């Protein structure tokens, strides 16, 4: 039985030959996993940003999620991170084939993104930081050398970057300082309400990147998602800061370090968008809107815990 590829995932062929080759082989790979793991498709497949998720029934008739992902440097540690958490505050990993990027996961309920109150959902995500941030684990890669490579890219673009030079300089200075220290804790790396789902009466994280790093690295995705709520506030800079304060207060993070990481991550996002050209626009939908969103967040951070 060949599982059809969702159009949104198939469209990623435009990203180049590695994607096209992976997509060409994906139906055959899924068929093989279904056979080997005694699974039966139980609904239409879903497209993640870099993965196919197939609802399945296992040999006992229990609904599961078969996930097969395109392996990149920043998501190669999803499996060891989930193994470390062992279902505590994160989706339960039941079986894995790391070489082929395949995971069999428990089936969860709705995404937290459907929660009508953005302030409540922000705090729910921030409450997950503590239990997920266990001490650094040797089976996970260090985030900070990767950050230094991101900063090299940012620096190489120089004044061609469509962002205020002072924000770029701030990101480079703060980023080099923050990345000089070893990672102290296990990080999710991309935790926001689209990556939190319901399990009975609790919320759990999905789709971790999986690094050893600084816990203050985490908040930025919570600022660039749920953007419509911030825009509707009438004062977007203040709304961004209020959300930021809610995150750091709930999670007990160092305000200045978290602020600096937000500036670093937003300016790196702008650099990546320049390099990708028109290939995508992140959560904003268009490249221009995504660049504007990240600059707006970095500007809002200038009023946070000013030295």
Q: What is the pLDDT of residues 140-154, one digit of tens each?
A: 999 999 999 999 999
pTM: 0.93
Q: Which residue has the tokens 């924000």?
A: 167
Cβ atoms 185, 294 nearer than 8 A: no
Q: Which residue has the tokens 């200038």?
A: 302
**Encoding tokens for residue 249?**
């207060």
* Closest to 265 in 3D by CA, of 186, 172, 185: 172
Average pLDDT, stretch 12-31? 93
Q: How confident is the model at residue 278 (pLDDT cuts 50, 70, 90)?
A: low
Domains (ranges, CATH) in the chain?
A: 7-106 (3.30.200.20), 112-303 (3.90.1200.10)
Query: Could you please report the per-residue DSSP string of 183-249?
Result: P-EEE-SS-SGGGEEEETTEEEE-S---EEE-GGGTTHHHHHSSHHHHHTTS-HHHHHHHHHHHHHH
- DSSP 3-state assignment of 251? helix
* Cα→Cα distances 272→45, 153, 202, Å: 29, 8, 35
For residues 20-46, b (16+ Cβ closer than 10 Å) or e, as one string? eebbeebeebbeebbeebebeebeebe
Averaged pLDDT of the chain: 94
Cβ atoms 36, 56 nearer than 8 A: no
Q: Is the pLDDT of residue 279 over 60?
A: no
Residues acting as catalytic residues = 190
């Amino acid at each position: 039985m060949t599982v059809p590829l969702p159009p949104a995932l198939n469209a990623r062929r435009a990203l180049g030959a590695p994607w096209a080759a992976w997509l060409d082989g994906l139906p055959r790979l899924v068929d093989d996993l279904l056979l080997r793991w005694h699974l039966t498709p139980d609904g239409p497949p879903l497209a993640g940003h870099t993965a196919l998720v197939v609802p399945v029934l296992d040999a006992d008739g229990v609904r599961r999620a078969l996930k097969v992902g395109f392996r990149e440097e920043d998501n190669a540690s999803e499996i060891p991170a989930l193994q470390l958490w062992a279902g505590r505050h994160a989706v339960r990993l039941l079986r894995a084939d790391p070489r082929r990027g395949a995971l069999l996961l428990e089936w969860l309920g709705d995404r937290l993104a459907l929660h009508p109150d953005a302030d409540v959902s922000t705090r729910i995500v921030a409450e997950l930081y503590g239990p997920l941030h266990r001490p650094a684990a040797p089976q996970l890669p260090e985030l900070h050398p990767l950050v230094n490579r991101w900063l090299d890219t940012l620096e190489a673009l120089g004044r061609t970057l469509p962002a205020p030079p002072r924000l770029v300089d701030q990101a480079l200075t703060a980023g080099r300082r923050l990345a000089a220290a070893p990672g102290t804790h296990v990080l999710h790396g991309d935790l926001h309400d689209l990556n939190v789902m319901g399990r009975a009466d609790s919320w759990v994280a999905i789709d971790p990147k999986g690094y050893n790093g600084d816990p203050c690295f985490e908040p930025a995705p919570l600022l660039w998602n749920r953007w419509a709520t911030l825009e509707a506030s009438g004062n977007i800079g203040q709304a961004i800061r209020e959300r930021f304060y809610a995150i750091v207060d709930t999670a007990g993070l160092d305000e200045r370090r978290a602020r600096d990481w937000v500036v670093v991550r937003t300016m790196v996002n702008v650099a990546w968008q320049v390099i990708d050209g028109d290939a995508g626009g992140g959560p904003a939908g268009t490249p221009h809107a995504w660049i504007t969103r990240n600059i707006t967040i970095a500007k809002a951070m200038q009023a946070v815990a000013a030295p």
